[in-house]
Amino acid sequence: MNYTDYVTQIATMAVVPTTDPNYQIILPQMINYAELRIQRDLDFLSTVVSNTSFSLTSGNQYLNIPDSNFVTLQSISLASTTPHVPLMPVTKEYLQYVYPSGTTAAQPIYYAMQGGDPTTIGNTSIVVRVGPTPDQNYTLVINGTARETTLYQPSTPTATNFISNYLPDLLIMASMIYISAYQRNFGRINDDPAMAQTYESQYQALLKGAMVEEARKKYQAGAWSAMSPAVIATPTRG
């Protein structure tokens, strides 16, 4: 489903003209609502990215990563070594206790999520602390999740993304929940009080199947395999 198909289908289901100026105003945030909700509900394998542009600096326990690069971090490895050495995630309290400032520098072993950049209003960076303090510069390989490119591209009518291509049903249901509020059908005292609840229940039903599919992609299904959950197999896998 491309951008034009999406706009037309939502307008048809909501019974509004695609040229309605109010409809055009809510389109960006409706797509934003639907895409962000789906990405938060589903841990997409397709959104896992690898970045090799960051390095640790000798004598500095901290690494700043702009939050535009990752939503979540999954792993950090030292790329300066052969083979690459993965760092182990721990709590920041552990690093503060075991590797306080001024301890002997060495090759880092651990990392912890420190928080946002305290020098920047809005915390636009993810701050990672490593331990021990690096004894030299180390290039890194960082894996984590990123946001999917949005479908909202009115200048490119044929634009698609992963969600619109592979989960168009879920995208439509999430969008209809949002547009229910636009049409004042979001509560029990409105003209169609069941509208939002109906689309919500359909969204939840579709979400269950999508969650299983994503788990299978990552070998997190039954018995940590890529197979669909076995209903009639005895004994069950998990």
Q: What is the pLDDT of residues 84-130, one digit of tens each?
A: 999 999 999 999 999 987 778 999 999 999 887 656 555 578 899 99
pLDDT of residue 81: 77
Exposed e or buried b per residue across 141-177, where buried means at least 16 C-beta atoms within 10 angstroms of its C-beta: ebbbbbebebbbeeeeeebbbbbbebbbebbbbbbbb
Q: How many CB atoms lie within 10 A of CB 78?
A: 22
pLDDT of residue 117: 65
pLDDT of residue 181: 76
H/E segment holding residue 174: helix 168-182
pLDDT band at 51 (very low <50, low <70, confident <90, very high): very high
Output the average pLDDT for the chain: 87
User: What are the distances in angstroms from CA 101 to CA 50, 52, 96, 98?
Assistant: 30, 27, 8, 10
User: What are the distances in angstroms from CA 185 to CA 177, 199, 221?
Assistant: 9, 11, 38
- Which amino acid, residue 128? V
Cis previous bond, 89, omega within 30: no
Alpha helices by DSSP H, 77-161: 92-98
**Token couple for 175:** 């969008």
pLDDT band at 237 (very low <50, low <70, confident <90, very high): low
User: Measured in Å, how far apart are the chain's first and last C-alpha atoms?
Assistant: 36
pLDDT of residue 44: 92
H/E segment holding residue 203: helix 195-217
pLDDT band at 189 (very low <50, low <70, confident <90, very high): very low
Q: Look-up: residue for tokens 């049903």?
A: 169
- Taking the C-alpha atoms of residue 99 and residue 104, their distance in angstroms, rounded to an integer, is 9
Backbone φ and ψ for 10, nearest 5 degrees, come out as -65, -45
Residue 1 confidence (pLDDT) above 80:
yes
Sheet with 62-66, strands from edge to edge, namely 62-66, 125-131, 110-116, 88-89
Helix (H, G, I), strand (E, B) or coil at 29: helix
Residue 202 confidence (pLDDT) above 60:
yes
Q: How many CB atoms lie within 10 A of CB 108?
A: 24
CB 163 within 8 A of CB 38: yes
pLDDT of residue 82: 81
- Which amino acid, residue 221? A
H/E segment holding residue 142: strand 138-145
Task: Give the mean model confidence (pLDDT) for residues 35-54.
Answer: 93
CA angle (127, 129, 132) in 5-degree steps: 165
